[in-house]
Structure 1
Amino acid sequence: MQENREQWATKIGFILAAIGSAVGLGNIWRFPYVVYSNGGGAFLIPYLCAIFTAGIPLLILEYGMGHKFKGSTPLSLARANKKFEWIGWWPIISSSVILCYYSMILSWTIKYMTMSFTKAWGQDSNSFFYNDFLKLSDSPLNFGSIVWPILIGIAIIWIINWFICYKGIKSGIEKTSKILLPSLLVIMIIIVLRGITLEGASVGLNILFTPDWDKVKNPQVWIAAYGQVFFSLSIGTGIMMTYSSYLPKKTDINNSAFMTAFANCGFEFLSAIGVFAILGVMATSQGVPMEEVVTGGIGLAFIAFPKVFTIMGVWGNILGVLFFSSLVFAGITSSVSLVEAISSAIIDKFGGERKKVVTYMCLIGFTTSIVFASNAGLYLLDIMDNFINNYGIVVVGLLEAFVMGWIIKPKVIREHTNKISYFKIGKWWDVIIKYVTPTLLTIILVQSLINEFKNPYGGYDLVSLLLYGWAIIALGIIGGLLISKKTWKNSRVDNISSEEIV
């Protein structure tokens, strides 16, 4: 085992870094729309069930694995059972792809943050985004040319990622998390406080939180709740096991998992209030029903919000800068965690000094990201993100639960975390890991596959879906299997003694 594995300076540093990883762009632009379209206030019931029966148990599993086996995700799984090392490499490969297109989205947010000072998107934010800013081509297979402002933004993001991870755990990631996360919270509170005091805000909030109890009976709403919790907590991406591997021997793992999940949950609801208050303002000022202005994802951030900022006078400039700053801060804390998960796995497997590995990885990452600065960048993001989230990450979570539930046995992790945690988890956790989580994730996976074959995603042609979707899934599986065949340079896996494992 590595003798000099770096550690977090403080427990709060780890918690903030973990929350920073979980709190990403999806909390701000995905969660509000998911709540709205799945029963409003009634969505709280399946959402909280999902937190307790999937989110927190899986966080305990990943924290416990990383802490007990003291390694990155592939190393932790290899130490648990060498046969399943490849499962640890799959999320690392997926995270590498995510990191490349994530840098493109963050490039957009940086540019829009600067444009907020003058509202440079003009009166037609929709046309500006697709035609003037992205210069979007007519097909995922038509790359066109490089959009230089986007490429420059991508370079800036990779430099930030490199600088933070180059500095290490204590001096880089921990210090950055202690600055960015509180700043993000303050910004979001300002947006919410101003948003709810504007005329029309109550219209948006009423639409958001008015419960539609009939929807609670709909299985699709429950699937949406579990999907949201799973995706928003950075589970199945290789991050949480890696982060927990840097914890000191005596750390309250169980409590840390609860704190991370609830902090992430709280931020999601805070974001939802701010987003729907501002959308209510937009609907009121334009005299249209909320249904016409509500949207999620990229449409919300780069089309709907710029449109409402345009009609808000000076406050539109201020809220625009704050809103896009919040996206930048949320995105950086997440992208840094992806860089760390990938570089830690490489260092563990192949050896090498952190600074060199991070430098080479960021150079390769930036070079790969150039394709996303092309006129087809949005198409590539859309297809890859759908397949990685709906298939890659879900299957990894399912395999983790299966391996720990049926091969390694949950008791191994439960007894380890209970020894060092103030709050003890009982045998109910074993039941969740063995039966509940695998069943729920299987349902989500089957549902996604049925939808995929009934209606191919996004109406894209089969070649594009095979090239940018299914090929990425295959890359994760085949790449994981091939890398797992290589011998470990930096860490002993076989025949390690019980004293070497915490």
Structure 2
Amino acid sequence: MSENGTQSREWNSRFGYIMVAAGAAIGLGNIWKFPYLAYQGGGGVFLVVYILIVAVMAHPMVEMETAIGRHSASDTVTCFERINKKWGFVGWLANICTLLINMYYVVVGGWVLKYAFQYIISGDFGSDKQAYFTDFTTSTVEPIIWAMILLVFVSILLLFGITNLVEKVTKIIMPVLFLFLIICGIWAIFVTDNAIEGLKYYLLPDFSKFSFTVFSQAATQVLFSVGIGWGIYETLGANIPKKNNLKSDAILVSICDTGAAILAGFVIIPSAFAGGVDMQSGPSLIFLVMTGIFSKLPGGRLIGICFFLAIVFAVISSLFTFFEISIRTFEDNLKMGRIKATLIISLIIGAGNIIVSLGFGVLSGIKLPWLDATGISHLGLYDWLDTFTGYILLPLGCLLVCLFVSRVWGFEEYEKELTNNGKFGRITLYDKILTYIVVPVFMVIIILNVFGFIR
């Protein structure tokens, strides 16, 4: 860092950028959420739909957001303002979305850290896995402590800048994450009984199980998993040298993210089949179901250590960029030093973490209203934040980016930045159709679905 707390801006290597960008995308959405959604969505048919949506929705969005960021080489708000001063609100929307996500993401990340630690020291979760999970998550102090450990660790590393110490750390933990997932996948397939049936269910599509709900769930999962619509790639793109090929970088990031999700499915779905477990347990799957399965099968504790450490690494690599989005905005747009910006953002997120964590325990009686086509329902703090950010703010962010690129910045100027003045190809009619029609239609479907207008 320099004396005023700013950081060296450009990535030290292309590999470093790819690892940080992939790390931002690969997180709880891939390893925690993707497998149970794939199971509920019919296995192979969900996987096929998911991959297609990554290709036609996520990949072009990564290209657009990265190009916007590199064009201005600044924070998420300023990068829009430098193209058109009236459009800074898109960056502020991304900051609000990310801060709200961090308020529950760190809490769940703390749960993962606790389980990884428990596997390392004993692997004992008692005879009643549900009681262990409930007692821990509803307690007043312990979940907050684990969340704060995660928050402090990420914040300290970010003091040195995302292109310095964080880049070096991520270049190590991302390959290790994939190694752990591969080890777990091999174990699940070749060591556990009845795993082949789970593998067939996961990989062989039965298109009779396709439905609008499957499509909507896959599209929503891609949105959260790849990390589009909330300022990730504008922030990371600001540090990319002009010589880099943004089109090929976007492909690599999308492949890494999708690969992590698919690998997680290789671990969890065959394991669940082998353990005779119904995966309808949903979000609590890895904490309740996987601990039970690991305790009954050969090498369970060792594989549990690898599995939960892989998720810890995924959480940490994501939080580096999640925090950086708002830190960079406070540092650049609001003219704060790096240290002050990091401290303020950490305090805001930490306060949110405490409230959300208590929402599972002493504040569990607090419910927030949610209005949809069926009337008014009431959601807990975590569920309300998850729904509001993932199903409204993220698709809204994508809609605004598509509108910004096509109508405000214009395809001609966008093409110059994306292709380095034609060095790396051109913007095709297909690209324009994705921006004008396909991505916006997908976003509208997600929003209409969450409000119950389409099912």
Partners of 1:34 and 1:451 in 2: CA distance? 21
Shift of 1:61: 0.3
Partner of 1:474: none
Shift of 1:6: 1.2
Does the CA-based 8 Å contact 1:184-1:326 persist in structure 2? Answer: yes
- SS of 1:170's equivalent in the other structure is coil
Q: Which of 109, 115, 120 is the matching residue for 2:112?
A: 109
Partners of 2:425 and 2:407 in 1: CA distance? 25
Partners of 1:377 and 1:312 in 2: CA distance? 37
Partner of 2:390: 389
Partners of 2:166 and 2:363 in 1: CA distance? 29
Partner of 1:120: 124
When the two chains are superposed, the root-mean-square deviation of aligned CA atoms in Å is 2.1
Shift of 1:53: 1.6
Matches within 5 A, 1:19-418: 19-116=22-119, 117-130=121-134, 132-135=135-138, 147-197=140-190, 198-216=192-210, 218-283=211-276, 292-297=278-283, 299-312=284-297, 315-374=299-358, 375=361, 379-418=380-419
Does the CA-based 8 Å contact 1:75-1:88 persist in structure 2? Answer: yes
Shift of 1:310: 2.2
1:423–1:30 CA distance, 2 compared to 1 (3 A): farther
Partners of 2:262 and 2:357 in 1: CA distance? 32
What letter corresponds to residue 53 of structure 2 in structure 1? A
What letter corresponds to residue 361 of structure 1 in structure 2? I
Shift of 1:8: 0.7
1:159–1:274 CA distance, 2 compared to 1 (3 A): same
Shift of 1:192: 0.8
Does the CA-based 8 Å contact 2:272-2:293 persist in structure 1? Answer: yes
Does the CA-based 8 Å contact 2:7-2:163 persist in structure 1? Answer: no
Matched, 1:427 2:437: no
Does the CA-based 8 Å contact 2:43-2:202 persist in structure 1? Answer: yes
Partners of 1:57 and 1:401 in 2: CA distance? 10
Does the CA-based 8 Å contact 1:123-1:310 persist in structure 2? Answer: no
- SS of 2:10's equivalent in the other structure is coil
Shift of 1:220: 2.6
Does the CA-based 8 Å contact 1:7-1:169 persist in structure 2? Answer: no
Partners of 2:136 and 2:253 in 1: CA distance? 36
Does the CA-based 8 Å contact 2:36-2:285 persist in structure 1? Answer: no
Does the CA-based 8 Å contact 2:57-2:439 persist in structure 1? Answer: yes
Does the CA-based 8 Å contact 1:32-1:296 persist in structure 2? Answer: no
Partners of 1:252 and 1:267 in 2: CA distance? 23
Partners of 2:431 and 2:148 in 1: CA distance? 44
Does the CA-based 8 Å contact 1:406-1:434 persist in structure 2? Answer: no
Partners of 1:181 and 1:446 in 2: CA distance? 36
Deviates more, 1:364-373 or 1:420-429: 420-429
Shift of 1:323: 1.4
Shift of 1:424: 4.2
Shift of 1:448: 1.4
1:264–1:377 CA distance, 2 compared to 1 (3 A): farther
What letter corresponds to residue 198 of structure 2 in structure 1? G
Does the CA-based 8 Å contact 1:279-1:294 persist in structure 2? Answer: no
Shift of 1:444: 1.6
Cα-to-partner distance string for 1:378-424 (whole Å, 9 max, x where unaligned): 84222211221011111111111122222322332123211265354
Cα-to-partner distance string for 1:325-354 (whole Å, 9 max, x where unaligned): 111110011111111111001111111221
Partners of 1:328 and 1:344 in 2: CA distance? 24
1:170–1:443 CA distance, 2 compared to 1 (3 A): closer
Shift of 1:172: 2.1
What letter corresponds to residue 127 of structure 1 in structure 2? A
- SS of 1:350's equivalent in the other structure is coil
Does the CA-based 8 Å contact 1:165-1:336 persist in structure 2? Answer: yes
Does the CA-based 8 Å contact 1:411-1:430 persist in structure 2? Answer: no
Does the CA-based 8 Å contact 2:198-2:269 persist in structure 1? Answer: yes
Partners of 1:442 and 1:161 in 2: CA distance? 34
Structure-1-length-normalised TM-score? 0.81
- SS of 1:127's equivalent in the other structure is helix
Does the CA-based 8 Å contact 1:41-1:208 persist in structure 2? Answer: yes
Identity between Structure 1 and Structure 2 (%) = 26
Shift of 1:246: 0.8
Structure-2-length-normalised TM-score? 0.89
What letter corresponds to residue 445 of structure 2 in structure 1? I
What letter corresponds to residue 387 of structure 2 in structure 1? N
Does the CA-based 8 Å contact 2:47-2:202 persist in structure 1? Answer: no
Partner of 2:448: 446
Shift of 1:376: 5.1
The number of equivalent residue pairs is: 430
Partners of 2:363 and 2:62 in 1: CA distance? 33
